[in-house]
């Protein structure tokens, strides 16, 4: 059975007071036993979030990390630092990191290695721009992102890897991929992993969908065979909408 996962990526939102308001309410929630729930607050709130949620079945993820273990990298945060405050998962390759911070596949491959070495689970994000889809290059692009950024890892590493398919044109736009488009791409991703590794690995990896997932579309998206959950932006900032999405798996 693949893990069902719903992860909230807060991006650069929620200061400490807002985080505390969220957590006070979040702690009162009943979390479904068969869904892995994660939140990824900004760096400044990771330690607080971990301490606050310690007794609750919620993982704390980081939104990024540096590829080096330590050193003169002003403004950066290492995997070891994340581990030291209770973080067990890191989001890598988000399209905003790729677009605004020039993170390319070569750099992401290094970050992947560092995260694995430090026993962090990785949510590896991939996704095409609207132009790629219009020119029907989206499958090629996704395959390239996987091949260049991730496919150097060993078979064993897949225990610690989650994929998030986030079409860039659906992020923060209110426009989601249709459930069929999501299913089609998730199946393609799974097949691509199967070709490179094995069916056993491909069948086990959780593939999340991200891009304008809201309470009113989550049930339909999550009901697709190869969609194992979501990476949620805007709707993860409020406890009510996030919990509606956490509870959106059928059956
Ligand atoms: O980028 C996302 C999550 O990483 C998706 O953001 P939205 O849910 O706000 O579209």
Would you state the pLDDT for residue 251? 60
Tokens of 62: 């980081």
Q: Model pTM? A: 0.98
Rounded-to-integer distance, Cα 164 and Cα 160, Å: 13
93 touches 149 (CB < 8 A):
yes
Rounded-to-integer distance, Cα 189 and Cα 207, Å: 8
| CA contacts within 13 A on the Cβ side of 135 | 7
In a domain, 76, yes or no: yes
Mutational test site, ligand 1, from 14, 89, 174, 211, max ligand atoms within 8 Å of CB: 211
Which residues, listed in sequence order, are joined to residue 164 by a DSSP beta bridge? Answer: 125, 208
- Mean pLDDT score, 10-30: 98
Question: Whose Cα sits closest to atom 7 in ligand 1?
Answer: 233
Tokens of 111: 């970050």
Contacts of 157 (CB under 8 A, 6+ apart): 116
In a domain, 64, yes or no: yes
Which sequence positions are flagged as catalytic? 94, 166
Mutational test site, ligand 1, from 41, 90, 172, max ligand atoms within 8 Å of CB: 172
165 touches 124 (CB < 8 A):
no
The answer, yes or no, to whether any atom of ligand 1 lies below 6 A from the CB of 183, is no
CA of 217 to the centre of ligand 1 (A): 14
The CATH number of residue 220's host domain is 3.20.20.70
- Mean pLDDT score, 171-198: 95
| 234 in a known ligand binding site | yes
Tokens of 221: 């998206």
In a domain, 251, yes or no: no
Tokens of 103: 């993170």
Rounded-to-integer distance, Cα 73 and Cα 69, Å: 10
- Note down the domain range covering 43: 4-246
Which residues, listed in sequence order, are joined to residue 6 by a DSSP beta bridge? Answer: 37, 230
CA of 39 to the centre of ligand 1 (A): 13
- Would the pLDDT of 184 be above 70? yes
- Count of domains forming the chain: 1
| 93 in a known ligand binding site | no
170-189 in b/e form (b: 16+ CB < 10 A) is: bbeeeebbebebbbbbbebb
In a domain, 43, yes or no: yes
ipTM of the complex: 0.99
| 233 in a known ligand binding site | yes
Would you state the pLDDT for residue 173? 87
């Amino acid at each position: 059975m693949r893990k069902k996962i719903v992860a909230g990526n807060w991006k650069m939102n929620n200061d400490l007071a807002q985080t505390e308001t969220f957590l006070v309410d979040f702690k009162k929630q009943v979390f479904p036993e068969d869904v892995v729930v994660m939140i990824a607050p900004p760096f400044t709130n990771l330690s607080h979030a971990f301490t606050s949620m310690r007794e609750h079945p919620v993982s704390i993820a980081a939104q990024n990390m540096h590829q080096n273990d330590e050193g003169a990298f002003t403004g950066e945060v290492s995997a070891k630092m994340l581990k030291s405050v209770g973080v067990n998962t890191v989001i890598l390759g988000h399209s905003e990191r790729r677009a605004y911070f020039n993170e390319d596949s070569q750099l992401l491959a290094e970050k992947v290695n560092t995260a694995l070495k430090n026993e962090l689970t990785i949510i590896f994000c991939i996704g095409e721009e609207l132009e790629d889809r219009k020119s029907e290059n989206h499958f090629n692009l996704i395959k390239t992102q996987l091949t260049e950024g991730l496919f150097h890892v060993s078979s064993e590493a897949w225990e610690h890897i989650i994929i998030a398919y986030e079409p860039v044109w659906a992020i923060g736009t209110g426009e989601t991929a249709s459930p069929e488009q999501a299913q089609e791409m998730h199946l393609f991703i799974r097949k691509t992993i199967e070709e490179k590794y094995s069916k056993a690995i491909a069948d086990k990896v959780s593939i999340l969908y991200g891009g304008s997932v809201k309470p009113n579309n989550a049930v339909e998206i999550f009901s697709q065979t190869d969609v194992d959950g979501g990476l949620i932006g805007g709707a993860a900032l409020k406890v009510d909408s996030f919990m509606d999405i956490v509870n959106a798996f059928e059956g």
